[in-house]
Amino acid sequence: MVRPSDRPTLPTLGVEEEFILVDPQTLQPAGSGVAVSRVRHGGNEGEVHPELAPSQIEAASSVCRDLCELRRTLIRLRTELATAAAEQGWRLAAIGAAPIGQPGPPPVTDTPRYRRMYAEYGSIIEEQGVCGCHVHVGTPDLESTLRASNWLRPWLPALLLVTTNSPFYRGVDTGYASWRFALWSRLPTARPAPHFTSVAHYRGLLDCFLTSGMAMDPGMLYWYARPSAHLPTLEVRVADAAATVDEAVLLAGLIRALVTAALAADDRLRGPEHIDDQMLWAACWRAARDGLEGDALDAATGRLVPAWQLLTDLVEHLRPVLEENGDLGLINQLLRTLRARGSAASRQRAVYGRHFDIGEVIDHAVAETTQCTSL
């Protein structure tokens, strides 16, 4: 057992969680993220912001130094937001895409940047009211951030598997565990980042995207892992909104362990870095379609394997760093809970299978949003 005083200095971490506000009568996305965001303007425990669609809200945790602190912070933020939403007559759902879908092409939240996005990208933006879980891990400089991105990229499909949480859209089962992934992939830069050869390589690609118009600004660089546009972090954006706090913490713990290994440059923990871009894209697509209960593509070998194997292989790969930083026990416990309960997508399908009532799926998602296990 590693005592806290014996742990190495670890990178800081934080999580941004996006949520959907739901009308309890129509079950459609509704409400005002701007109104709910007034509940918190900042502070030591995090802050909240409106998002692209008016019915979205984002909670950003404070900078945390360990997973238990992160877990407490996310519980507080979710509880606070759910209460604020209820006071306005809405319900808060941590889900990747609205199961009923949008009531029509939604207007964007009324800010200059979002209005410009809608003007520039048109109909692509109309179904982008989807929700992700974005994990930030602190890095000392851009070169280190790019090295961490290179080390992490082979494991992007496994990270996506942790939170697949959007099987329903427009009232039907899409056949995907993460329909959010399919909708989000319509954006021109929503792809795995390349293997970077240098800082100049990264800057050259960013300049190309800005010049071509694929990205309006650095914040529209939607790689699955990217240098944050506003923080000294690697920001990993591949995952759906986590249905539960514990799944968000599991995701964050795995990502921080990967970044820790990269920053230490420990060759024992080096993965198969030079994965073909198209192979990696195919592996991410397969993870989004089948989720944890299906087969996954191993991007290193090109072979199908049980999806759970991909995730357990990641934990085993990270065992030395998880043991050293004292997180292995918590990660294993959260992983066991996930395996026993099944993925968020499978849980929603089980609820739907009882009475084929999409309203019950939404009730389930709302309940899980503030559900906490006793750790």
Question: Cβ(144)–Cβ(227) under 8 Å?
Answer: no
Mean pLDDT of 299-315: 96
Give the separation between CA 326 and CA 281, rounded to whole angstroms: 33
Would you state the pLDDT for residue 5? 42
Would you state the pLDDT for residue 102? 75
Work out the percent of the chain whose per-residue pLDDT is above 70: 94
Mean pLDDT of 140-168: 97
Those residues with Cβ within 8 angstroms of residue 305's Cβ, 6 or more apart along the chain or in another chain:
295, 296, 297, 298
Q: How far is CA 358 from CA 343, 348, 355, in A?
A: 18, 9, 9
For the chain, the average pLDDT equals: 92
Mean pLDDT of 9-28: 94
Would you state the pLDDT for residue 111? 93
Those residues with Cβ within 8 angstroms of residue 176's Cβ, 6 or more apart along the chain or in another chain:
166, 167, 182, 288, 289
Would you state the pLDDT for residue 170? 94
DSSP secondary structure, 229-296, as one string: SSSSEEEEEEEEPPSSHHHHHHHHHHHHHHHHHHHHT-GGG-------HHHHHHHHHHHHHHGGGSEE
Would you state the pLDDT for residue 2? 37
Would you state the pLDDT for residue 372? 78
Would you state the pLDDT for residue 6? 47
Mean pLDDT of 161-172: 97
Of residues 212 and 105, the one with the higher pLDDT is: 212
What are the pLDDT digits (tens) for 113-137?
Answer: 999 999 999 989 988 999 999 999 9
Would you state the pLDDT for residue 36? 87
On the question of pLDDT at 78 being above 90, the answer is yes
HSE-CB at 341 with a 13 A cutoff on CA atoms is 20
The CB density around residue 326, as the number of other CB atoms within 10 Å, is 18
What are the pLDDT digits (tens) for 177-226?
Answer: 999 999 999 999 999 999 999 999 999 999 999 999 999 999 999 999 99
* Dihedral (CA of 180, 186, 189, 192) sign: positive
Mean pLDDT of 59-68: 96
Q: Is the pTM of this model over 0.85?
A: yes
Would you state the pLDDT for residue 310? 96
Q: Which of 41-50, 308-317, 326-335, 343-352 has the lowest mean pLDDT?
A: 41-50
Give the separation between CA 280 and CA 193, rounded to whole angstroms: 10
On the question of pLDDT at 3 being above 70, the answer is no
Question: Cβ(365)–Cβ(348) under 8 Å?
Answer: yes
On the question of pLDDT at 1 being above 50, the answer is no
The residue type of 42 is G
pLDDT grade, residue 42 (50/70/90)?
A: low
On the question of pLDDT at 271 being above 60, the answer is yes
What are the pLDDT digits (tens) for 291-302?
Answer: 999 999 999 999
Please give the structure tokens belonging to residue 25.
Answer: 């009568």
The CB density around residue 243, as the number of other CB atoms within 10 Å, is 29
Domains for the chain: give ranges and CATH numbers. Answer: 4-369 (3.30.590.20)
